[in-house]
Amino acid sequence: MIEVLLCILGFLVSPAYLCLMVVALLSTLVPFLKDLASHGKTLTKLSSHASTTANDERSPHAAGNSSGDSGESFQNSTWIQQFSQGKMFQIHKRCFLHFYVAGLLSLAWFALSTAATHKTSSCHNQGMLLLALHLARRCYECLRIHQYSENSFMHLAGYVCGVFHYLFLPWMVFDDKITCNDNHLDDDEPNKMALSEYVWNISIVLLCLWGQWEQYQHHALLSLLRQKQLSNNKHEEEEIVGSQPKAVHKIPRGRLFQYISCPHYLAEIVIYTAFYLLLRQQHDSCQEPCLSGLLPSMIAAREEVMSVLLTMRQWRRLVLVLWVSSNLTVTGIRCHNWYLQAFPTYPSLHRKAIFPFIL
């Protein structure tokens, strides 16, 4: 039964990630979804204890009226608005740590449960180590690097989405061969690797390591900037002082911040792209009976449904890259627009949102 469950899980995760990608894109058009996807400084709040937007905070008249109107507007809003913007559904950003802990636990369970049932390729093992390094590094950054302000929150829906992503990440990146056949791996597979393929694999591993290094460096720059913000309140033309508790933001500088507003998001896209390139030639072919064990027979019997599920399963790594890229691009553009509205001098820096010289 556990083998059937794992195989069905492998089939259904890819459609779930596609749905997340669609929701991320729709969040640019639907205010309700935008509130669910926002976090930190871009999170909109209507409660009387929440911070106003950057422009309102810079306007004494708007700030003076916000405290009285926000509570009334929250009470008169619909339940959908209360859910998307209500303080009771917000979680502190320190809980980002839960994402990576969940990912590490899931990766460890996945590795242990599949190691004894099938042999793995060198690319598979390299990907396992790189993903473990990425998750462990992010745990370290959450504990030792990031400097969270007391009024930095994310929505409960975003928290659930993040936990889901990292829990099922191993099923999207690696082959689950407990109930699947993989005939392209031979016992002497490492000996058959051509020199060009070996160089390619090393290049992709270095690309992934570079992406992780750049993400760490830019997170360190943001942390250092936050430390300076807390200790020194100078350069008032680049500051925003929020409601209680006090929140101060400055323009980040250095490294890729000279070209884009969110280089740490770009680095994340590079990391997931490296996983895709490293494992792109590995396709597992699951047998149809593993689906008919739990899915309704009327669905499992339809060849077109099976064909779609098989295709999505085979291209799940590309689906993963598209989901991560679309989600981080939307988030990066939202953060970039926040900088443009918050700092009058920001347009003169000629930065793009997430891709240098492009977007």
122-135: pLDDT as tens digits? 788 889 999 999 99
What b/e readout covers 224-253, taking b as 16+ CB neighbours within 10 angstroms? ebbeebeeeeeeeeebbebbeeebbbbbbe
Q: According to the model, what pLDDT value does residue 248 have? A: 62
Please check the confidence at residue 47 and state whether its pLDDT lies above 50: no
Please check the confidence at residue 220 and state whether its pLDDT lies above 90: yes
pTM for the whole structure: 0.80
Read off the pLDDT band of 34 (50, 70, 90).
confident
Q: Helix H segments across 180-315?
A: 189-192, 195-231, 263-279, 289-292, 297-300, 303-314
Q: Return the SS3 of 2.
A: helix
237-279: pLDDT as tens digits? 455 544 444 456 789 998 999 999 999 999 999 999 999 999 8
